[in-house]
């Protein structure tokens, strides 16, 4: 029996309502803007309005996928995030309700820092290998938040990506070998009592490079392709220069150092355009990179690409796949670029206010003023419940119990 080809059939991006330009941040901090633009490779970062979160961004990303393909064959929804809104309930359940997906479906949340979306892709592929007629909706999204005035502050951001994983995919078919590496490292983490991450920045950059080097060695050991075969490489991008640092590191490790001045742009640049504007989106970041790559290169048909995923703590995976012929007809390039272009610029003072917004924890009734203009928003908190609203009206999560 031949194995079905499995991979990404559709992919869609969403981001937040606001953007803070790095020029405004540099002015406030008294830092040379070139440190951000050149040193980190960032121009702006997405900042959610008070009525946005990972649920609203993921539902916004997934809605056009459901509109195009329907939800009838979706048997599993996996939401990969490290900005969970509940310690128990999967954020995907809110999205499942907002999108009207079938009840004959399993919905779970996956967490391992910025890595978990890649685990979701692999779990989806395994489910589809068992039953090729089913589809899996992979959601990934995060709000990257560090303390004001910390070195991590310029590497914040927010975005979500939704991917429909199927047999006979239209965009990318995944290769079977992938390379793995896990190690218990304290480079970046967020204890349950904190809303902002704790990070050892320098250690995190070293841990990232070491982990992807080990994952790459495992990929090669398992029969994976040579680095020179890839038409493009999509890295996890806490800041876009990290992709360049990491690729140089891998080339060095593979014994094919890029000579000084070597143009790495041909394999990296297209996959960094969106991330440069959106900032870090943690679990979604490598897939924001994939959306950027697909939307900005038209020469990828039948060519292999690599996705290099890193999540602090830490887990890394090196996986690859081949772009399908005709992939262009299935992309959402205008909508993806539009989501980024539509964001409203905010002043440093407004960004600071939003940074300090806290969700009331008293269990009372709290209406959240409308600020965002997307199709979904967090409208209220009531009895510790989150109440989301779509353009069509309010979504109450426990409608069965409320007798609706």
Q: Residue 42, interface with ligand CAA (CB under 6 A)?
A: no
Q: How many residues bind ligand CAA (CB under 6 A)?
A: 26
**Cα 279 from Cα 276, distance rounded (Å):** 6
Element (H, E) at 129: helix 116-130
- Is 328 strand, coil or helix? helix
Burial class for 404, CB neighbours closer than 10 Å (0-12, 13-18, 19+): exposed
Based on the residue annotation, tell me whether 131 is a catalytic residue of this protein.
Answer: no
The H helix count followed by the E strand count for the chain is 12, 19
Segment interacting with ligand CAA, rule: CB under 6 A, options 51-59, 63-71, 238-246, 360-368: 238-246
Least Å distance, CB 246 to ligand CAA, is: 9
Segment interacting with ligand CAA, rule: CB under 6 A, options 53-61, 157-165, 231-239, 322-330: 231-239
Q: What are phi and psi of 390, to 5 degrees?
A: -105, 170
Binding string to ligand CAA for residues 248 to 287, with x set by CB under 6 A, is what?
--------------------------------x-x-----
Q: Residue 208, interface with ligand CAA (CB under 6 A)?
A: yes
Q: Residue 148, interface with ligand CAA (CB under 6 A)?
A: no
Binding string to ligand CAA for residues 153 to 172, with x set by CB under 6 A, is what?
-xx-----------------
Based on the residue annotation, tell me whether 82 is a catalytic residue of this protein.
Answer: yes
C-alpha 207: how far from its chain's center? Answer: 20
Q: Residue 85, interface with ligand CAA (CB under 6 A)?
A: no
Yes or no: say if 243 and 316 are a contact pair by the CB < 8 Å rule: no
Based on the residue annotation, tell me whether 210 is a catalytic residue of this protein.
Answer: no
Q: Which of 18, 146 has the CB closer to ligand CAA?
A: 146
DSSP letters spanning 91-127? HHHHHHHHHT--SSSEEEEE-BTBTHHHHHHHHHHHH
Choice among 52, 82, 153, 317 that is catalytic: 82
**Cα 21 from Cα 13, distance rounded (Å):** 20
- Is 74 strand, coil or helix? strand
Active-site annotation, residues: 82, 114, 236
| Binding site residues, ligand CAA, CB under 6 A | 32, 34-35, 38-40, 114, 151-152, 154-155, 188, 199, 201-202, 204-205, 208, 236, 238-239, 242, 280, 282, 310, 312
């Amino acid at each position: 029996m031949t194995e079905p080809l499995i991979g990404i059939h559709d992919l869609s991006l969403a981001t937040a309502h606001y953007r803070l330009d790095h020029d405004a941040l540099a002015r406030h901090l008294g830092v040379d803007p070139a440190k951000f633009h050149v040193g980190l490779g960032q121009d702006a970062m997405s900042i959610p309005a008070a009525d946005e979160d990972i649920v609203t961004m993921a539902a916004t990303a997934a809605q056009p996928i459901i509109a195009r393909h329907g939800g009838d064959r979706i048997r599993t929804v996996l939401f990969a995030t490290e900005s969970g809104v509940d310690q128990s309930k999967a954020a995907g359940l809110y999205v499942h309700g907002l999108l009207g997906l079938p009840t004959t479906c399993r919905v779970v949340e996956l967490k391992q820092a910025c890595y978990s979306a890649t685990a979701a892709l692999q779990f989806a592929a395994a489910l589809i290998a068992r039953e090729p007629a089913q589809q899996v909706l992979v959601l990934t999204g995060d709000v990257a938040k560090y303390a004001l005035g910390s070195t991590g502050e310029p590497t914040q951001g927010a975005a979500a990506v939704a991917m429909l994983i199927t047999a006979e995919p239209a965009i990318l078919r995944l290769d079977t070998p992938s390379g793995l590496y896990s190690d218990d490292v304290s480079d970046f983490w967020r204890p349950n009592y904190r809303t902002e991450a704790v990070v050892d920045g320098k250690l995190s950059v070293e841990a990232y490079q070491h982990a992807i080097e080990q994952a790459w060695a495992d990929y090669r050991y398992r029969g994976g392709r040579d680095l020179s075969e890839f038409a493009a490489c999509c890295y996890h991008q806490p800041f876009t220069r990290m992709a360049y640092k990491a690729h140089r590191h891998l080339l060095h490790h593979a014994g094919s150092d890029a000579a000084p001045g070597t143009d790495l742009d041909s394999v990296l640049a297209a996959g960094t355009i969106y991330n440069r504007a959106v900032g870090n989106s943690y679990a979604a970041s490598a897939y924001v990179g994939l959306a950027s790559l697909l939307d900005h290169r038209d020469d990828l048909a039948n060519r292999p690409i690599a996705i290099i995923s890193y999540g602090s703590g830490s887990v890394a995976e090196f996986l690859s796949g081949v772009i399908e012929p005709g992939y262009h007809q299935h992309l959402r390039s205008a909508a993806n670029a539009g989501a980024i272009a539509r964001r409203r610029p905010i002043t440093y003072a407004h960004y600071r206010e939003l940074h300090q917004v806290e969700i009331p924890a008293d269990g009372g009734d709290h209406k959240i003023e409308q600020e965002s203009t997307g199709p979904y928003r967090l409208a209220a908190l009531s009895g510790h419940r989150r109440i989301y609203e779509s353009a069509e009206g309010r979504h109450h999560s426990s409608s069965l119990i409320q007798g609706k």
